[in-house]
Amino acid sequence: MSRTRETTLSRRTRLLLAAISVAAFSLPLYIAAVNVFKFNTQITRQPLALPSPVTTQNLVDGLTRSDNLLWIGLRNSTIISIATVVLIVPVAATVAYWVVRRRNRITKIALMVLMSGMMIPPHVVFIPAVEVLEFLGIARTFPGLVLFNVGGGFLSFAVFVYVGFMLTLPKNLDEAALVDGATRMQMLMYVVFPLLRPATATVAIFIGLWTWNDLVTPLFILGPSQGITITSGIFVALGQYNNDYGQMFGIMFLASIPILIYYLLLQKQFTSGLLSGSSKG
């Protein structure tokens, strides 16, 4: 929108309106945040009030549990999420580049099949996927879960974003390099991939969020014996602390901090990447 057309007065009113809307929208977040620092007695009696007295007991209790639930969950989820993002980015970018630059009947069919992957409820493929992983000898392992993440419905989304973004890149850009004798792979790596930054940020944000927040996939594919992920850990704690809101808010707060920081670090990059992600191919 134009940056000149507003008078100072209406600009202030607009900002106020925006702030009020966001405040109302964020009320549930406020509730979650203030109750992290309260004792249970105050949570029950004054759920909306500011903490008084302020306590960090809920956080300390969460971090010093005898079963190390949070630490194990944070470690496992960090490993799984990073590995998934690091692998899916080059895989999806390559497939997308192939689809966009080869442009023949095969790539069209491949893209269609890949896109349909977004519609499959993952619950449908869990049990047979375990059999496949068993066959490959990586059932119930971190590599098994990461490969399942990279190859599954997440890949469809990542390819969708990359294809859309690549279509907006001028074609002559890399054709010129081709004339210079570079191979397609070299062009992808040195010319195209650096230009894909917004799309890569989009993919990294969403795949990272989804992997971190995934409840059901790790329960099936990894199982409990390899240790719990952070989101299934919250679910476990919910059983134990279902009447101890302070503990639950504390654990959820701690479990959400890393992913919030991750989002804040990447957010500048990503909106433009998402938007060109509508596949016109």
| HSE-CB for 72 with a 13 A CA cutoff | 16
137 binds another protein (CB under 8 A): no
Binding flag, residue 32, another protein (CB under 8 A): yes
Query: Peptide bond preceding 51: is omega within 30 degrees of 0, i.e. cis?
Result: no
Tokens representing 223? 């199982």
Q: By CB under 8 A, what part of segment 187-246 binds another protein?
A: 188, 209, 212-213, 215-216, 219-221, 223-225, 228, 231-232, 234-236, 238-245
Give the x-and-dash track for 252-271 against another protein (CB under 8 A).
x--xx--xx--xx--x---x
Does 147 participate in binding another protein (rule CB under 8 A)? yes
Contact with another protein (CB under 8 A) among 79, 82, 110, 178: 110
Dist CA 61 CA 246 (whole Å): 10
Other CB atoms within 10 Å distance of the CB of residue 182: 16
Which position among 53, 128, 137, 194 is part of the footprint of another protein (CB under 8 A)?
A: 128
Comparing CB distances to another protein, the nearer of 53 and 113 is 113
Candidate segments 16-24, 56-64, 78-86, 169-177, binder of another protein by CB under 8 A: 16-24
Which of 132, 177, 182, 195 lies at the binding interface for another protein (CB under 8 A)? 132
Q: Quick check: 41 binds another protein (CB under 8 A)?
A: no
> Helices 69-102 and 105-116 sit at what angle, rounded to 10 degrees?
150
Q: Are 226 and 172 in contact (CB under 8 A)?
A: no
Among 13, 56, 64, 116, binds another protein (CB under 8 A): 116
Q: CB of residue 56 vs another protein: minimum separation in angstroms?
A: 19
Which amino acid would we find at residue 248? M
When asked if residue 277 is in the footprint of another protein (CB under 8 A), the reply is: yes
Distance CA 161, CA 42 (A): 46
Of the chain, the end-to-end C-alpha distance in Å amounts to 29
What is the DSSP-derived secondary structure letter of residue 225?
G
